[in-house]
Structure 1
């Protein structure tokens, strides 16, 4: 997708890009960014371009449309309801644009996230059991820990002495360093040695090789050294239709429908937001069990149910090939898949049905969304804190209702985004 030439549109574009481009690769994204700087996005938001000319009426219209763009982005991120149709028609002037929302619900995107990846690599290298607390050290600080260390009260960036005081039995592994004397796993002088991440890169290659072997021709996008997006829409749709597609592209019939499968008890590592995680919290805000989860009756739910089975298969394949556990998020786009993959860790998987998205976004700080954790997210939060309540300012910052004043993803829809610096 092209990027906007108007910087004040970046927030709406980021949310839209996460929704509309679930499988585009990094190189293609970069090309799109370069090309987009010379072109458009705001062509559908009409008055945005006029707003840059400086007339008060045009600026006001641009602000309204920018607010609408973010609202539309979040709506297309999985929300249902007439609000979607109204927003699409208002912003784009295309009443049939609701078809895009329907198309969105035809997607099934997985986010695969290794559990404490660096720590798992070191535990495997040292032959330690998963129950052994371990921290990965870089120049006196812990840059990674495993879940046993977390249970002992240790967090990332803790100093080594503090970690040993909290957990005297913790195993410590220094990252590999390289100096004129060669590579070493022993602590070195930071003035004469450099950190090497080679062993983690090699382990990452094993993980992605396992994913590639298991997914056949499906699209796998490397999100980071220990994260991947997988577009399993075609396989999930084939499963819903009662078919399974092999690595060679051949389809064969399978027994049982998603509705029949959903009637069985879910495996302990499977979680569906709003169904079997009642009372769970997302960033401190309680999520109400609001989803209507009906695999076999609602096609979007059936696709996610099929995606859960695929995610379990991929996680098992990675563990067989590498010994590493991972968690997964299953949703209709990349933004939501990444958001829910972190909800239940380690070694679990979470599906976010369309019917539960609104409640999750209402309890999720904006900075938790992919692409909004840095400067842009802080700028939007500052805008919320500074603006009057009738423009979505200080009222939006307290929308979570649990005493936390951080801006939520849902409340950001009310902000005058045209005022972003």
Structure 2
């Protein structure tokens, strides 16, 4: 009986969001929005996809719609050059902050191309705002998170998706007619459900019925190989359906067209999304990887993370040809990364132990670099998604022109812009990650007309958990005044006008939005909170046993109060009970310990209140059997938690 080249372990590994990228059946996708900034403005201003829209910042074009590209317009053109290429071009300027204002505004019909001077938006008095694009980006990210377990936000308009678990579920549990009608597939599902398999055993060969499964999108297959030959092809076909579903939702709900690449690794998926645009989907199957990498469109520097100085230095050290460099690496070092590592070490030795002018290559980490290049040239370099990239600092920056900032008053006007922008961005980040983010430090930097740089840092003391624009402005204005007094007052001509000014907030304190009284007064107990979203269960687990099948119903935590020896059916009741204990302790510390305190042992009660008889119940019962009425409006915090 013919068997698959993949094992049960390869398949089961897809079901783990933490390790699926390591499986030979791994399936990644990269999706980006076509000419994102231009599409945002096109939709906002009610233009169609056939209208030649460009998004403009001052005199530069930062995004060109595909309709405008038909006229040979690119981002290398100035807006005036572009308008000569297309007499009906539609330029739309980004939103801007006005000097001295903490909010951004669209000035439609304004820009450097306008003949009227008052409509030209001089950069001396305005600062570009990217907030509208970040807002749209959050909408996109929300859709991806709703449909996929593991999502990495690569930039404002692109994401990486690990589709492993999603495809595993489709394969094993979907009601797709192709799977339902296949007896062989039903047998495989039963084997999985019953756990009657060995992880190292090869999977059965692909059932003939499954070979009718269709891909959605363009499968890169110049050699016309069989489309569905093994289980990795099935996974990719299922993945193409899932990504198309997400892209359709984005197109229908937000109006944006996207391009998608599907491959085994992040790097190849990103190349795939850029291969056919706009509004396209490219699938690079494992048996077509080398065909794709050698199609003439890519070099080793085309790979994500190798497009800069590091990539150029690698080309020099390896003596790579200007064309077909990926194929050259694969053929020259054909057997193992060790060969490539030895060559790099030899090159290092010939240069006296250093790469001379080559400063980007880390000579202490040649082994890792050689392995990466070896795998990249074959399209199999595994990289895990970073699903929770949370920034560590934020900057608002302005390169000053002419007399944009020639006094302390100008500095404060720009700081108001910076403060408004950063406060808004913090709010956006909080919404995106469902966190409370409190910056604790702020730094003001000023670059003088002589090129000297001065900076000052202060600790931020917010009035509450939200970063208020006015609080940030007050703190940073004080720093600006101190810098002005120290460096500008002795000789203002050497200080002003400034050529650059920026504000950085950092040292973020990050809190969960779901806070309890325990969190407000100090974390006195460890609270376990179950996440109702089933898609996050694996993210919460620190370890996962891959030798066993994940049960359909996962165990719940035992919610037990050690003090009372009570068990609780759900997290909410358990949390309320813990809050009661903490409120009781807080009440004792604020109001004094009473003889009915629940925080004292019997021995402690007798020792402290020997003349009093400790009550076993805080609500005393009168001789007639009635409970004593409790006065309303008691100032005791404990009353809020007694039930």
Q: 2:17–2:165: 8 Å Cα contact kept in structure 1?
A: no
CA RMSD of aligned residues (A): 2.6
Work out the CA distance in 2 between the residues paired with 1:150 and 1:358.
31
Q: 2:20–2:26: 8 Å Cα contact kept in structure 1?
A: no
Correspondence for 2:137:
204
Gaps of 5+ in 1: 1-21, 25-99, 245-252, 275-288, 385-392, 401-407
Cα offset for 1:399? 4.7
Q: How many pairs does the alignment contain? A: 280
| Higher Rg of the two aligned structures | 2
Out of 286, 289, 293, the residue aligned to residue 354 of structure 1 is 286
Work out the CA distance in 2 between the residues paired with 1:168 and 1:221.
40
| TM-score (normalised: structure 2) | 0.41
Q: 1:178–1:196: 8 Å Cα contact kept in structure 2?
A: yes
Summarize the Cα distance change of 1:126–1:372 in structure 2 as closer, same or farther, 3 Å threshold: same
Correspondence for 1:131:
50
Work out the CA distance in 1 between the residues paired with 2:86 and 2:210.
44
Cα offset for 1:194? 1.4
Cα offset for 1:259? 6.6
Out of 381, 389, 397, the residue aligned to residue 321 of structure 2 is 397
Work out the CA distance in 2 between the residues paired with 1:213 and 1:154.
37
Correspondence for 1:37:
none
Deviations 1:285-327 (A, max 9, x none): xxxx2363432x3111111111100110010111222111111
Cα offset for 1:120? 0.5
Q: 1:291–1:354: 8 Å Cα contact kept in structure 2?
A: no
Work out the CA distance in 2 between the residues paired with 1:412 and 1:360.
15
Correspondence for 1:150:
69
Q: Secondary structure at the match of 1:409?
A: helix
Correspondence for 1:271:
218
Q: Within 5 A, what are the aligned runs for 1:231-310?
A: 231-241=162-172, 243-244=173-174, 253-257=175-179, 263=212, 270-274=217-221, 289-290=222-223, 292-295=225-228, 297-310=229-242
Cα offset for 1:339? 0.9
Cα offset for 1:411? 2.5
Correspondence for 1:409:
326
Q: Secondary structure at the match of 1:410?
A: helix
Work out the CA distance in 2 between the residues paired with 1:102 and 1:190.
46
Return 351-360 or 198-207, whichever deviates more: 351-360
Deviations 1:82-110 (A, max 9, x none): xxxxxxxxxxxxxxxxxx99953211111
Summarize the Cα distance change of 1:351–1:293 in structure 2 as closer, same or farther, 3 Å threshold: farther
Summarize the Cα distance change of 1:127–1:262 in structure 2 as closer, same or farther, 3 Å threshold: farther
Correspondence for 2:316:
382
Summarize the Cα distance change of 1:23–1:383 in structure 2 as closer, same or farther, 3 Å threshold: farther
Cα offset for 1:166? 1.1
Cα offset for 1:168? 0.9
Correspondence for 1:174:
93
Correspondence for 2:159:
228
Gaps of 5+ in 2: 1-15, 112-120, 180-206, 333-339, 349-354, 359-643
Cα offset for 1:237? 2.3
Higher fraction of helix: 1
Correspondence for 1:165:
84
Work out the CA distance in 1 between the residues paired with 2:233 and 2:80.
49
Cα offset for 1:409? 2.6
Q: 1:141–1:160: 8 Å Cα contact kept in structure 2?
A: yes
Cα offset for 1:264? 7.1
Q: Secondary structure at the match of 1:153?
A: coil
Deviations 1:89-142 (A, max 9, x none): xxxxxxxxxxx9995321111111111100100001110001001111112111
The answer to whether 1:334 aligns with 2:266 is: yes
Deviations 1:165-222 (A, max 9, x none): 111111001111212264343332222321110010001011111222233xx11110
Q: Secondary structure at the match of 2:177?
A: coil
Summarize the Cα distance change of 1:150–1:260 in structure 2 as closer, same or farther, 3 Å threshold: farther
Correspondence for 1:90:
none
Work out the CA distance in 1 between the residues paired with 2:43 and 2:253.
13
Q: 1:211–1:318: 8 Å Cα contact kept in structure 2?
A: no
Q: Secondary structure at the match of 2:293?
A: helix
Summarize the Cα distance change of 1:198–1:399 in structure 2 as closer, same or farther, 3 Å threshold: closer
Work out the CA distance in 2 between the residues paired with 1:382 and 1:399.
13
Q: 1:294–1:302: 8 Å Cα contact kept in structure 2?
A: no
The answer to whether 1:194 aligns with 2:147 is: no
Cα offset for 1:263? 4.0
Work out the CA distance in 1 between the residues paired with 2:251 and 2:210.
24
Work out the CA distance in 1 between the residues paired with 2:91 and 2:277.
22
The answer to whether 1:318 aligns with 2:250 is: yes
Out of 358, 362, 365, the residue aligned to residue 299 of structure 2 is 365
Higher relative contact order (CA 8 A, sep 6+): 1
Summarize the Cα distance change of 1:175–1:101 in structure 2 as closer, same or farther, 3 Å threshold: closer
Q: Secondary structure at the match of 1:256?
A: helix
